[in-house]
Amino acid sequence: MLRRAWKPIAASIVVAGPAYYFYTIRDQTFQHPLRVKSTDGKKQIVMKTLPLLPMKSIDSRLGESGITETNSRPYGITWHHTTSALASNDPIEDAHSHQIIQGDDGQSDLLFFTVFDGHGGRNTSQLLSRTLINAVSLQLSKLAANTSASLSSTKSFTDSLWALWSKSSSGSISATWDVPSISSAIEDAFVGFDQVLLDAPISILKQAIQQGTMSAKSPVPDLSSNASGIQTMEAAISGSCALMALFDTAQKDLYIACTGDSRAVAGVWKSNNDGKGTWEVDVLSEDQTARNPKEVERLISEHPNDEADNVVMNGRVLGGLEPSRAFGDARYKWPLAMQELLNQVYMVGNGTSLRKPPKTFKTPPYVTARPVITHRKLSFKDPSSLRFLVLATDGLWDVLTPEEVVSLVGGHLAGLKGVIPKSELPSLIPTSIANAGVDGKAGKQLSRSTKQGSWAFVDDNISTHLIRNALGGGDEKELRQIMSIPAGMSRSYRDDITVTVVWWEVGKENNVDSVTIKSKL
């Protein structure tokens, strides 16, 4: 449907961008600055020689996780989505998931797409990828059944969540519901899930006390070898941002639920009378960080006046955590006495300790998992309706603007091929801003995103295409440099990146029902 807008463009000559200021290319190695401690304890910069990976290895790493999936549905819509991820941490702390739940009538779906940006480990993000969609589905099924029980206090939900811990659920949902009710149900599911997450190690401790497993030498049980307890403890003390898109095809609604600083951006095609058109950029989430004025105001309002100067320091919650909303991160949520108790129960026996909260910690919780919900109406046949959606962890948005992402996706859908100078893409794929959202990164975006250099249209997988262009695009030397920094060093220069792109076509209902393709270069 979009290929009619522009003709495919032949490959351009590669224009190499300038090398990073911290590298010098010498044959197949480059110099990389490494911060180390000297003998007197002071930090200093030393230059380390690193091998420069060949493009064949770069292409392989970029494409190894890419998946393209097509689902033709009986109501006449074919859904496409791609997902790709690139690690900087070892192992990667990002995660993702998706699920289609068919309506009872067989003519409608709820389609879920999620990305998760973990921090302090991958335990929370991995758990969310296995269970959060199911938790939201469960809450929506209660809404459909006209039940109003609180998700965080209902025993049946807690029991169900434990069952979902290691096994995905399936089912169907069919109901007529309004936007406020669904938004509220999603919020309740997020908050309830996080509460169960935080309560899990406490529940195991209570059970151990009731069973009398304490020794005579200690007033509390030693659960440092309790596998379930350690698992729940790790998921509670690490943290994760969460971004969920829910397409309700029966009501033609899109919901975006954002907890943290991952970002959702839509491209909306606006055609002109001459057959050409423009991609409107619609930012559907706000970066929930302590650099977002709205979040700063909320945080200060939730705590006593004498904490006003300490709740946010240096753009971080209590001077420590950057996202102001997240799952887990129990050291910003559990009371101090609870943290000390659980540290003794689970950590000490393993020779480790729970990281202490910031010194200004007084009146928890300081971080919430409650999402902000954004809603948009959909029309699958209206050419002015939403046409694609990009969900990505903040590693992508650190280096690309929403306008650049929409241009890159729009150009891919239009059939652009080869290497395109950055200065030329706006005239080939024009964009306009419908909604800029709130940028909570406060100038954090790195200098790689400039008008100099070039974009590369060489990947079949659109998500891989975006990741490649975030890290150098058509500037091969630049791309090789940033991708050659090994784990342990690379985190200072690029984050984990996970990208999902969703788009659809009308009138493809006779095609194959579902096809999944691994990326190939």
Q: Which DSSP string corresponds to 295-353?
A: HHHHHHHTS-GGGTTTSEETTEETTTBSBSB-EE-GGGTS-HHHHHHHIIIIIGGGT--
pLDDT digits (tens, 9 = 90+) for 179-214: 999 999 999 999 999 999 999 999 999 999 888 766
ω into 365 cis (within 30 of 0): yes
**What is the pLDDT, as a whole number, of residue 172?**
52
pLDDT digits (tens, 9 = 90+) for 139-157: 998 887 764 444 444 444 4
Query: Tokens 């639920």 sit at which residue?
Result: 257
pLDDT (tens place) for every residue of the chain, 521 residues total: 333 232 222 222 222 233 333 444 445 888 878 777 777 777 788 888 889 999 999 999 999 999 999 999 998 899 999 999 999 999 999 999 999 998 877 788 999 999 999 999 999 999 999 999 999 999 998 887 764 444 444 444 445 444 444 344 445 554 457 899 999 999 999 999 999 999 999 999 999 988 876 665 677 899 999 999 999 999 999 999 999 999 999 999 999 999 999 999 999 988 877 768 899 999 999 999 999 999 999 999 999 999 999 999 999 999 999 999 999 999 999 999 999 999 999 999 999 999 999 999 999 999 999 999 999 998 887 766 678 999 999 999 999 999 999 999 999 999 999 999 999 999 999 999 998 887 877 555 544 445 689 999 999 999 999 999 999 999 999 999 999 999 878 988 899 999 999 999 885 433 333 344 444 33
Q: In 10 A of CB 413, how many CB atoms?
A: 23
What would the two tokens of residue 318 be?
């209590």
**What is the pLDDT, as a whole number, of residue 175?**
47
**What is the pLDDT, as a whole number, of residue 17?**
32
| Alpha carbon distance 149, 139 (integer Å) | 9
- The values of phi and psi at residue 85, to 5°, are -140, 150
**What is the pLDDT, as a whole number, of residue 165?**
40
Shortest CA distance to 86 belongs to which of 67, 69, 60, 65? 65
- Give the pTM: 0.87
Strand, helix or coil for residue 265? strand
Is residue 474 within 8 Å of 459, Cβ to Cβ? no
Q: Which DSSP string corresponds to 347-414?
A: IGGGT--PPPPPTT--SS---B-PPEEEEEE--SS-TTSEEEEEEE-HHHHTT--HHHHHHHHHHHHH
**What is the pLDDT, as a whole number, of residue 27?**
58
